[in-house]
Amino acid sequence: MTYTLGQIAAIVQGTIEGDAAAVITDIAEIQYAQPGQLSFIANPKYTKYLSTTAAEALLVAKDFEEKFKNLVRVENPNYAFSTLIARFRPSTPFPKPGIDPSAKIAKSAKLGQEIYIGPNVIISDQVTIGDHSILFGNTYFGAESQIGSSVIIYANVSIYHRCIIGDNCRIHSGTVIGSDGFGFVRTDTGISKIPQEGGVIIEEDVEIGANCAIDRGTLGNTVIGKGTKLDNLIQVAHNVKIGQYCFFAGQSGIAGSTQIKDGVTVAGQVGIAGHLTVGEGAMIAAQSGISKDVPPHTIMFGYPAQERHKAWRELANIRSIPDLKERLKTLENEITQLKQRT
């Protein structure tokens, strides 16, 4: 599939600087791009490849200041490039609607129109599956769970009883939704389990990566809001409430009953303690530990996490300790010498 640069600009609603008739045959990362291929720069650190890339043209932001033979200026290079990926590299077609003979489906289950159910899928009593959904092999659906329309659930996902998955969600392999929350109480005779009788609600347009664990609530529900995206290997504990359009990078964990408001961004390997509130639009840097409430639109960093500017000042002071130690040692020597003279 080929496009002219002019056609590319029309697709991404961009403006051209260069040859609109240049032919684009494929897309590639800037450091690997070859003649005839289109690439992009969204992060300034990739400008170092401008002098070595063989790319035919680049997608860049409107305020991009560097020079290149063919540029397409757009509002958001990341989004524009993702649009073109779908054009040049269409996804592998999903299976056609149908039910594999090895699937086990309860008589009381309600199945929508045009759905695919793969090998060894188990659908328990009173489960509902919406229209156009795709359930790959070895997935499990507990009693009374509800799966919306146009949902894609990849192989080896387990969805426990009374969980709700909204329309247009995508859940990747190995994820478990609705497992018991970590609720226990110490007694005179040992440790007693607290029953976990709530549920999980995943609102529409949520994507959950591979090998995540979303625990059910103790009495109420654990909730993941509309449009939120979870990376791989994320733990969401019981009764957590995550708002709409949040991002969570891999290996992050949220302890029980914490509330994450809309538009929050959490980087990788972040730990968030329980019973806290993370305000709307907050950002948490990688490997931070959140031990107290986070105000809205605050950037937090460190362990324990603090507002980023304060954390950076503390780090700068810590790094200056060796120099201060040497200066102090020099002053002590000078004082000793003065005392010896007197």
**At 267, which CATH number?**
2.160.10.10
**What pLDDT does residue 204 have?**
98
Domain assignment present for 146: yes
Domain assignment present for 82: yes
Q: Which of 38, 53, 88 corresponds to the end of one domain? A: 88
Q: What is the DSSP letter of 48?
A: G
Residues 48, 44: Cα–Cα separation, whole Å = 8
Q: How many Å separate Cα 141 from the centre of its chain?
A: 24
Peptide bond between residue 195 and the one before it cis (omega within 30 degrees of 0) = no
**What pLDDT does residue 139 have?**
98
Q: Are residues 190 and 274 in the same domain?
A: yes
Global pTM value? 0.84
Q: How many CA atoms lie within 13 A of 120 on its CB side?
A: 8
Q: Are residues 299 and 328 in the same domain?
A: no
**What pLDDT does residue 89 have?**
87
Q: Give the residue among 214, 295, 292, 202 at the shortest CA–CA distance from 252.
A: 214
In this structure, the number of other CB atoms found within 10 A of the CB of residue 102 comes to 12
Q: What is the DSSP letter of 308?
A: H
**What pLDDT does residue 318 have?**
78
Q: Are residues 287 and 155 in the same domain?
A: yes
C-alpha torsion sign, points 85, 87, 88, 91 = positive
Domain assignment present for 41: yes
Q: Which of 64, 88, 112 corresponds to the end of one domain? A: 88
Distances (CA, A) of 23 to 78, 89, 146, 181, 284: 21, 17, 48, 55, 42
**At 61, which CATH number?**
3.40.1390.10
Could you report the average pLDDT of every consecutive run of 10 residues in the chain (342 residues)? 94 96 96 96 95 96 95 96 90 90 98 98 98 98 98 98 98 98 94 96 98 96 98 98 98 97 97 97 95 95 78 76 86 85 75
- Enzyme catalytic residues: 238
**What pLDDT does residue 71 have?**
97
Which residue range forms the structural domain that includes residue 111? Answer: 98-309
Q: Are residues 79 and 142 in the same domain?
A: no
Q: Which of 88, 115, 139 corresponds to the end of one domain? A: 88
Domain assignment present for 142: yes
**What pLDDT does residue 93 have?**
83
Domain assignment present for 106: yes
234 phi, psi to nearest 5 deg: -120, 140
Domain assignment present for 93: no
Q: Are residues 203 and 300 in the same domain?
A: yes
Q: Are residues 152 and 110 in the same domain?
A: yes
Number of compact structural domains in the chain: 3
Domain assignment present for 13: yes
Q: Are residues 129 and 268 in the same domain?
A: yes
Q: Are residues 141 and 263 in the same domain?
A: yes
**What pLDDT does residue 315 have?**
73
Q: Are residues 46 and 103 in the same domain?
A: no
Q: Are residues 229 and 277 in the same domain?
A: yes
Q: Are residues 176 and 293 in the same domain?
A: yes
Q: Are residues 127 and 215 in the same domain?
A: yes
C-alpha torsion sign, points 51, 52, 55, 59 = negative
